[in-house]
Structure 1
Amino acid sequence: MNRTYIALISVLALILGTTVLGQNPQAQSDLYPFIKNDKLGFIDRSGREVIPAQFSTAADATVFREGIANVGATGGWTYIDGSGKFIVESQFWWAYPFSEGYACVLLPGEGAGYGFIDKTGRLLIKGLRAPSAFHDGLAPISVGSKWGYLGTDMQMAIPAQFDFAASFSEGMGPVQVGGKWGYIDKSGKIAVQPKYDITMLFRNGLGMVKIFSERRPLVGEIGMEGQTTEDVYLWGFVDQHGAEVLAPKFLDATDFSEGYAFVVANDGTKLFGIIDKSGKYVHEPAFDEATPFSESLAAVRAGEKWGYVDLDGRWAIPPNLAHAEPFWHGLARVAFEPGRGGYIDKGGSVVWQNKSK
């Protein structure tokens, strides 16, 4: 996986996912996208369709943040408020959700690049080479061959000096120096030495890091040149001072959230269990796939079906769903079966479902 792809995952994760893992509710933000007859609209928490399905669909790109949603309209991408009214007249080739009062947009015209707008639609800066978002008052951007951080005054707050950089979270920014990843603080000073193959965003006071472990033969797979092998990487967690709270030893892991994380041990089980910050299991490995906890529930897959477990790993909503996403402000988007989706509440009751063909 190349470094550009990984770093952009980090950026987009914060653009789209920060509010899922903890933001104070805002009335206008409690609107949820739905798709009907290949058009996108929004429901409220009761399942009432408050903004009719009328916008272009683009997978999970459209969300309400800070009372504003990015939507695809007839002439391109723009923004609406909680009533469905257009608040920005400009039409962009792409529009990302607002974060800390600013939104990144792809400007129309071949090679025009990206820019940031405010909530009036005023273009504040243009010519950026990649999408970005403000978090902790900083946004990663590239200048020439190096990366640094833009401040909300649209001036460089941390000079471009890194091989790559991703969004800040909890006061820590993942950066790449000399082929390895570490973290900087908001002053631009190295806080965690670059020695990892990748560093992810800080959550719950810990950053998830990955190191190369070994090249392992794939059992039963022999290629034209002999035994087929795979590179094995292990995940661990560091604190803001660089101490390895949990040394890299897990084949897979989620971020910590609400004090717990899902991990896969390097012992051949290939199942996710739940650990606390000391590394102690609070629920033994039992899940095939898992997402971080959100609102004290986590979406997990057992076999072919998804459900939700509580912080102790007990089933809160039985695994009878085709797919499930984290809860956000009391609702979760799910697929009841392939091609039929909707929203459920934390009791598992259906709030809205797409009945259109």
Structure 2
Amino acid sequence: MKSYPILQLIGGGEVGGAEQHVLTLLQNLNFNRFNLISGCLIDGPFARLTEDLEIPTLRFPMNHALDLSPLPSLLTELRQQEVALIHTHGSRANLLGRLAGRWAKVPVISTYHSSLRQDYLSRKAALVALGLDRLTLPLTSGIIMVSEALAREVASRGGKNLRTIYNGIQPLSQMGDETYRRNQRQLFRDHWDIPDDALVFGSIARLHPTKGLETMIEAAATLLPSFPKLHVLIVGEGPLHSTLEGKLKEAGVPYTLPGFIPTAYQTLPAMDIFILPSLNEGMGLVLLEAMQAQLPIVATRVGGVPEVIREDQDGILIPPADSHALAEACQTLFNQPLLAKQLVQSGLTRWQTFNIEQMIQKTENFYEEILCLK
């Protein structure tokens, strides 16, 4: 059977949700059918990670988001590697990959992991990204969306041949074992000097405005007088680190901001409630990790989140940027342990409907459709 070289093209400046998704594709797609290559547009942690895993890795470093200077080397590699399909992830990859695909006559599929309207620190940058996306969308042969909410957004910009394929997740190692969770809880709480009896508000997120983490801090400050043992734990890194730390100090809320941790899911047992306060979210893969860690969840009713969390069944959904609603939801979980337990039990079943096998099969089917192999 012929093997078709597929280039997975991504920025790679961090190892966030999109990078984890690409890594899943690189490690799980049918090797007999597809020859997978990783391509990074930033010489950063993702390129080093894939190389450490002995995945063929190419670098096409862009000096800025609109830098087209890597195009010649990308075109050269497409020809030398005889790439049959380019799969792009993110704005930089979409721009460079779509142009290269058109010139090299190689079909391009783009996956949207989040809303472009919310991904940028400035309105001007967001408008430029949206404009370029609208201009280059006709250069794609197919588009994968990680939620129906994103599908509606991209369709409104003129996207065609859209396919919604939810992100999948594997069982997290040992997370189903109560002794393991208890040991992890103790391990991280000891490491970060979080008291055993603290009530930990937890989240794993990029420290970026679109994640709505300031709302989480405001809710914690509101609850602190009633719950003096409250502690905020936010695992992740990003441009708002110093801003969030300043707000936590100003509010007098005990906190831990440990920065980026490659296997962040291992810290979940240290939390008592998992909070996703995003202003927008493509799907929220971290919610599936929190379900496996058996945490009650409070999340904002945005983007693809309601497609993952069934309201008042798998978690509590609230409006975005509403610290009062967030505080009220957390107080409900603190005061009603039976409700919290019911949400956790439902989540344990729910996460299994988003499995990697299904995601991989649907992605392979789409590749074969685009390559006219079916």
TM, length-normalised to structure 2: 0.30
Q: Name the structure with the higher helix share.
A: 2
Greater relative contact order (Cα < 8 A, sep 6+): 2
